[in-house]
């Protein structure tokens, strides 16, 4: 499978502050945050006109899932649109709270850990071929995920019995298995629960839950783009790949996270040793040959070139990547603060920098200050993000879902949707089942839409 459907689910952290004090629990804040969502769809779990999904997850975490995308540009725009949509809810909730006498600020963080040590995820979904033998994933894709922290990590100051240290990844400390059907108690790198949200005889949804939430658009693009290239090589049985199977993948995940400068080797199951950067370089070299030797999606060559440039800069001087890699940008901010003010790594002011890097408020967040100064590479512009908040990707199934929701709301019709179903809740209970996520057009859908517009007795709102 060369053309790939992918998407990102992001859980956000929330807190409320009034004069420096917390007055409301995250649960209370989230209930105010989702009042407007409930008004949209009578539920705190709704699909949106842009084809994405917004809901309140376990632990009072707002979660936004992008629509199905087959373009990295669309994916990045959809991901950033999620931040924009939630910022609107924050503004609404702050006004509601003020009317209730609780004047203060809601902080919405796109990160993966809280002060109590809890972790919440940024999950990637990839449509893959219906395969039952996952051995090539274990030999190639898991080592790729373990070592991609070099460019995909969001960075974290971690306190442990051994002391305080800076790590590449926020999620590495919270992953306990390689492949499993669990998601919370024993989080795996890859979740195997078989929910394809598509034709189960043709597709499998690969659910990757090891990744960090990225603020930097380039990091999001490269994280998903390189994964798509590697998956294409894994699925192509004619592509010869090394067996990079790690002797202890979870230990390796943590080792890479703390090995900021790539000095340590990882033990492979074969007995060989390779460092994280060596595994990435070897995979990138094979990817270069892969995109040169066959017809691939138009984005693949650019992704592979960007991958190579990042690895070369990391080899030469990791600090060159502050415009593309979140953990390095954050490391520099913390390093400057420590040098300027003589702070220890475990100082509370350092912890605040660590947290505020992920503040999604455009005026207050440290990442957005970094970006405003031109220090972060962008993949999309503000107009594309604004459009993606209401317009679905035009080349996938999401186009039909978004259009159905928009027209049903316009004519004030009662409806139900999920990833594969579009249903009008009327006396006929007309339903369209969309089992192919790659299809943006379907005659059954067009008939349902024209029927909705033709048969309603109401004027559009």
Catalytic residues: 57
| Distances 85 to 22, 58, 150 between C-alpha atoms, Å | 24, 20, 30
Cα angle, residue 223 at apex, residues 128 and 438 outer, rounded to 5°: 35
Closest by CA to 69, choosing from 129, 9, 158, 121, is 9
Which run of H or of E encompasses 380?
Answer: none
C-alpha to C-alpha distance for 322 and 330, rounded to whole angstroms: 8
Output helix, strand, coil percentages for the chain, rounded to the nearest 5.
45, 20, 40
Q: How many helices (H) and strands (E) does the chain have?
A: 16, 17
- Phi and psi (nearest 5°) for 51? 90, -10
Which run of H or of E encompasses 114?
Answer: none
Task: Copy the structure tokens of residue 446.
Answer: 């067009």
Angle between helix 217-235 and 299-316 (nearest 10)? 110
DSSP codes of every residue in 219-247: HHHHHHHHHHHHHHHHH-TTS------BS
Sign of CA dihedral 382, 387, 392, 396: negative
DSSP one-letter code for 70:
S
Question: What own/partner pairs with CB < 8 Å and gap ≥ 24 does 425-429 have?
Answer: none
DSSP codes of every residue in 402-415: HHHHHHHHHTT--E
Which run of H or of E encompasses 334?
Answer: helix 326-341
The answer to whether the CB of 212 falls within 8 A of the CB of 297 is no
| Distances 434 to 163, 401, 406, 451 between C-alpha atoms, Å | 52, 9, 17, 18
């Amino acid at each position: 499978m060369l053309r790939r459907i992918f998407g990102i689910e992001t859980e956000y952290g929330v807190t409320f502050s009034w004069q420096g004090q917390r007055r409301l629990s995250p649960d209370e804040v989230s209930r105010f945050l989702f009042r407007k969502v409930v008004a949209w769809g009578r539920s705190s779990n709704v699909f949106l006109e842009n084809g994405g999904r917004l809901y309140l997850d376990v632990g009072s975490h707002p979660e936004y899932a992008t629509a199905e995308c087959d373009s990295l540009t669309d994916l990045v725009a959809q991901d950033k649109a999620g931040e924009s949509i939630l910022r609107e809810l924050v503004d609404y909730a702050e006004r509601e709270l003020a009317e209730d006498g609780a004047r203060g600020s809601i902080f919405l963080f796109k990160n993966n850990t809280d002060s109590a040590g809890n972790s919440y995820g940024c999950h990637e979904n990839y449509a893959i071929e219906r395969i039952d033998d996952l051995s090539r994933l274990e030999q190639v894709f898991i080592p790729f995920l373990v070592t991609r922290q070099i460019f995909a990590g969001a960075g974290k100051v971690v306190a442990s019995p051994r002391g305080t240290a800076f790590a590449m990844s926020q999620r590495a400390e919270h992953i306990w298995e390689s492949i499993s059907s669990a998601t919370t108690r024993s989080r795996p790198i890859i979740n195997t629960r078989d929910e394809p949200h598509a034709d189960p005889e043709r597709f499998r949804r690969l659910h990757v839950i090891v990744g960090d939430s990225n603020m930097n658009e380039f990091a999001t693009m490269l994280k998903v783009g390189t994964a798509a290239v590697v998956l294409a090589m894994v699925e192509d049985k004619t592509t010869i790949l090394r067996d990079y199977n790690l002797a202890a993948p979870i230990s390796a995940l943590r080792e890479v996270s703390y090995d900021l400068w790539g000095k340590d080797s990882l033990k492979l199951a074969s007995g060989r040793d390779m460092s994280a950067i060596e595994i990435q370089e070897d995979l990138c070299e094979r990817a270069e040959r892969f995109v040169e030797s066959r017809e691939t999606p138009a984005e693949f060559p650019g992704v592979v070139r960007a991958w190579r440039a990042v690895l070369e800069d990391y080899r030469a001087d990791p600090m060159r990547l502050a415009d593309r890699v979140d953990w390095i940008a954050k490391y520099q901010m913390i390093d400057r603060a420590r040098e300027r003010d003589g702070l220890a790594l475990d100082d509370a002011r350092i912890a605040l920098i660590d947290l505020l890097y992920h503040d999604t408020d455009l005026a207050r967040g440290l990442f957005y200050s970094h970006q405003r100064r031109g220090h972060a590479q962008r993949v999309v512009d503000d107009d594309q993000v604004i459009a993606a908040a209401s317009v679905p990707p035009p080349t996938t199934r999401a186009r039909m879902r978004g259009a159905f929701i928009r027209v049903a709301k316009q004519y004030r019709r009662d409806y139900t949707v999920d990833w594969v179903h579009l249903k009008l809740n009327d006396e006929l209970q007309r339903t369209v089942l969309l089992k192919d996520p790659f299809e943006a057009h379907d005659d059954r859908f067009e008939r349902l839409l024209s029927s909705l517009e033709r048969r309603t007795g109401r004027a559009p709102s």
